[in-house]
Amino acid sequence: MEASDFKRLFTVDEANAMLPLVRAICRDLSNLAREVIDRRQRLSFLQSRREKDRDDLYGEELAQIEEELEKDSERLEEYVHELKELGVEPKNAVEGLVDFPCAMEDRIIYLCWKLDEPEVLHWHELDAGFAGRQPLTAGSSAVEENFGSDSGGLG
């Protein structure tokens, strides 16, 4: 992938400066994603208990849950769209995991952040994912040269 494939590229400083807004969106996204999962499980449970031959005891609740799920699915999509409009790539709604595209040396990498982290502390190659996260070593010359605000990271 090339720089032109991304809405924008971030430095660590730029990603951290955007965290208050990203954190708020991710918190809402994560909470809603958990609620949707719970409701889908409840819906599945009710559908498995449903007796179609007799009075439909769960019919009203099923209809209500399905309606709420549809609305909440739209809200989830809106949160994801908000993050993408900022240039951030959502990776896991429940965990609040996002990636910030970043230029490092002659390639593009992801700065990786998770909802419970105080700031952007990790990075990984584009194809490595969360399991391939590596720490940003504070104060190291490599971090300053490759990720700092003067890195030429095309903000």
- Beta-strand relationship, 134-135 and 122-125: antiparallel
Please tell me the total number of residues recorded for the chain in this structure. 155
- Per residue in 25-79, pLDDT (tens digit) is 999 999 999 999 998 998 888 787 766 645 666 678 788 889 999 999 999 999 9
Domain range list for the chain: 3-9+91-147, 20-86
What pLDDT score was predicted for residue 54?
A: 59
Give me the half-sphere count of Cα atoms (radius 13 Å) on the Cβ side of residue 120: 26
* Cβ partners under 8 Å of residue 95, min gap 6: 30, 114, 115
Confidence (pLDDT) at 64: 86
